Structure 1
Amino acid sequence: MLPGSGHLPVGGFKVVYEYAGRLAARGHQVRVVHVAQPDLEAPLLAALKARARYAQRRLQRSYLPRWFALHPAVEVLWRATPDARGVPDGDAVIATAWQTAEWVARYPAAKGRGFYLIQHYETWSGPRARVDATFRLPLRKLAIARWLQRVVADAVGPDGEGAAYLPNGLDLDAFGLDSPIEGREPRAMMLFHTAAWKGSGDGLRALERVRAELPELRATLFGVPAPPPGLPAWVRYVQTPPPEVLRGLYNESAVFLATSWTEGWGLPGCEALLCGCALAATEVGGHLEYARHGETALLSPPKDPGALARNVLTLLQNPPLRVTLARQGHRYVQRFSWERAVARLEALLSGGELSAQPDS
């Protein structure tokens, strides 16, 4: 169950669609339920807007994820609220956000065993006490990162049930090496996002500092929003690139900047590594799933454009180091295959228990 419609690309939604399609390919009947108003305690104006969006998107069928090639056997449902009457019966039902977890925990047994896929510590979208309370609900919790396991453990206490470790998968066919790592021009790349905690402003300031030292630098930004105003001529912006275009952008870049102040996982950093970029990332929990300082990336504190710039400059001015980190990062992220991720989820849905860390 997803909060909101699927009309725009969202990393967490992409993960859910991948699982849905791959489970369907294994013979399971899968439905993805999108909910227009997941939080029924929202203010009246927000609730009225959500209901209006529900009616409009239902009429236009614009809730569908047209940006993602969803498996044809997966049924996508659009509901006004998470009320159990709008959810089909089944063997398992999975909440994917704190708002939907509150509902799924109260569903009757006919809806299936309740699970909670935790992709971030969502205090940016709700009060901390309310988010923490969802970790104590009678749901089987699945955390995509080790730092999220620790967050859940702190919330439930020593006597509560923690979260199983379910790391994301990567599409090893959609992203890969097409151009040699060694000969890449001094081009940097980063995701642009309007949410402050994504750190895009820090990334732009870091790139400006690098450019002052390295005038031949060129940069590529991509994202869903319109381009930020005032971009200099040496910065190119590509809005909502399809996967094949995004792969090409990664492959022409030497360094990728992962700038978030917090991150559940950080899919773009992984995709960049698959395509041969060296990674300059903030040292936050979601990046640490694959970013090891001096081994697969160079790390800097979040909210520190100066330190981020120094790492980018180091990578661009030291080609042997850049190539080494890019190659080691490329090898490291190969372990995160979708085949393994789906096998782990399938085992958990059937009531199995897994080790804390998958084999490399």
Structure 2
Amino acid sequence: MKINIVIPGVGLSGGIRVLFQYAELLEKKGHDVIFYTPVLAYDVKNSNSELVNKIHVFTNSIKRINSYIIKKNQNKTGFAVNVEAVPCIKNKYLRDADLVIASAWPTAFSVNDLHKTKGKKIYFIQDYEIWNNKRLGQLSYTLPLKHIVISTWIKNKLIEQLGHEDAPIVYDGLDIEIFNNLKTNCYKYSENRKFKILMLYHNLAKKGIVEGLEAYKRLKKQYSNVELSMFGLDRKPDLPEGVIYYSNPTREELKRLYQSADVFLYTSREEGWGLTPLEAMAAGCVVVGTDTGCMLDLGKNEENVLLVEPKDVEGLVNNVIRIMKDEELAKYLAKNANETVKQLSWDKAVLKFETILKDICNEN
């Protein structure tokens, strides 16, 4: 199959990384995949001010000219993928193909406007993206594109909005070979060592960082040896004193963080999937979190994770304390979690993804 994939940019967010991984694996299976990204940045309507939005588009476009044009011969994605920077997403800039896939709500509108010769139109939905502009985000899901989603949570959100949804679900794969590690050391709490908590940092409110930091604050009042480390794509976020921050860690650095932590705190209020808690589970780190995203599909409270409802700070605190005080519970959860995520191989994921793409391609 010839597959075109439209992405808003090449920043290695979780969603873009997933698409690059699929493209690599599909290429190995003999398919021809090209990514298209516009040099003219999308207007995501973040502001009520059109002037502010236009300035945002202008400054982002200038950055892209430098990144995509001046450095066009440098592939800095870390993946063996073909990314074409084009002025904008229009018919004349995209090749004819069997399928064309939208990857984020602004790209859905672009793909919808393309001629049918660019491929049968698919919307690969990795989150319910209404944080930039709720009206346009929701409108994107009503476009006549075939949906593929990555979680039950997303499918349920679309059912709530549309009244029905027959989209197939394909779980993201996980780099098991990188993160897999069931700790041989004990999980026993001791006042003589640091009790290490790890958490993702993100500036989106839906990630629940406020609740996570409040939980840490309450724990720190009771247990002085509790230590919080965070990681994210931001260079230097404003965090409370004493919080250790790692900016854009490598995969090996991230593996080390997971494996050295006692608890991974997953605080999302809502989530399309949630890669980081699954990586933590693979690395033998006990996950204490909220019942959303991937946890609706793979998390089993009291069996492989400890879960509370989103925004339940006290519940998060109590569950962390349970892990601190119950070594056997910690070992039990970590072992089961490690076994759970082993089903998330990329080979299984790409096989299901490929099957769905072929079915769509062969439809009359």
Is TM (by shorter chain) over 0.5?
yes
1:342-357 matches, within 5 Å, as 342-351=350-359
For residue 19 of structure 1, what is the aligned residue in structure 2? 22
The 3 A distance-change label for structure 1 pair 230 and 70 is closer
Q: 1:352 to 1:80 in 2, by over 3 A?
A: closer
Tell me which residue corresponds to 1:304: 312
Q: 1:251 aligns with which of 233, 255, 259?
A: 259
- Aligned partners of 1:41, 1:176: CA distance in 2, in Å? 40
1:101 deviates by 1.2
**SS of structure 2 residue aligned to 1:89:** coil
Matched positions, count:
346
Question: Which residue type is aligned with residue 60 of structure 2?
Answer: R
* Whole-angstrom CA distance in 2 between matches of 1:121 and 1:164: 15
Moved more, 50-59 or 286-295: 50-59
Decide which of 145, 152, 157 is 1:151's aligned counterpart. 157
Q: Determine whether 1:232 maps to 2:241.
A: yes
Alpha-carbon distance between aligned partners in 1 of 2:232 and 2:337, rounded to the nearest angstrom? 23
After superposition, what is the alpha-carbon deviation per residue over 1:137-181, rounded to whole angstroms, capped at 9, x for unaligned?
A: 2221101001211222333335xx521111111111121117425
Of residues 85, 99, 106, the one that matches 2:92 is 85
Does 2:10 correspond to 1:6? yes
In 2, the alpha carbon distance for the partners of 1:304 and 1:194 equals: 19
| Contact 1:84/1:107 (8 A) holds in 2 | yes
Kept in 1, the 8 Å contact 2:120–2:360? The answer is no
**8 Å contact kept, 1:280–1:312:** yes
State the Cα distance separating 1:39 from its structure 2 match. Answer: 4.3
Q: Indicate the residue corresponding to 2:121 in structure 1.
A: 114
248-257 or 39-48: bigger deviation:
39-48
Q: Distance in 2 between matches of 1:65 and 1:163?
A: 37
Distance 1:245 1:230 in 2: 20
Gaps spanning 5+ residues in structure 1: where? 354-360
Give secondary structure in 2 for the equivalent of 1:351: helix
Deviations 1:15-56 (A, max 9, x none): 111111111122211111223433487835423542443344
Q: Give the secondary structure class of the aligned counterpart of 1:173.
A: helix
Structure 1 residues 89 and 47: alpha-carbon distance in aligned structure 2, compared to 1, 3 A threshold: farther
Q: Could you tell me whether the CA contact under 8 Å between 2:230 and 2:244 is conserved in 1?
A: yes
Shift of the 14–317 alpha-carbon distance from structure 1 to 2, 3 Å rule, reads: same
Of residues 115-124 and 47-56 in structure 1, the stretch that sits farther from structure 2 once superposed is: 47-56
Q: How does 1:110-259 map to 2 (within 5 A)?
A: 110-128=117-135, 130-158=136-164, 162-177=166-181, 179-180=183-184, 182-183=186-187, 186-229=195-238, 231-233=240-242, 235-259=243-267
Q: Are the equivalent residues in 1 in contact too, given 2:153–2:271 (CA < 8 A)?
A: no
> What does 1:279-298 align with in structure 2 at a 5 Å threshold?
279-298=287-306
1:185-239 deviation line (CA, Å, top 9, x unaligned):
6211001112222111211111121122222222211111134435333x32111
Q: Which runs of 5+ in 2 are unaligned?
A: 189-193
Give the distance between the partners of 2:195 and 2:134, measured in 1 at CA: 43
- Cross-structure match for 1:104: 111
CA–CA separation in structure 2 for the residues paired with 1:102 and 1:266: 25
Where is the helix percentage greater, Structure 1 or Structure 2?
A: 2
1:146–1:247 distance in 2 versus 1, CA, 3 Å: same
Deviations 1:88-111 (A, max 9, x none): 221111001122112212311210
Determine if the alignment matches structure 1 residue 270 to structure 2 residue 273: no
Identity %: 29
| Cα distance in 2, alignment partners of residues 153 and 65 from structure 1 | 42
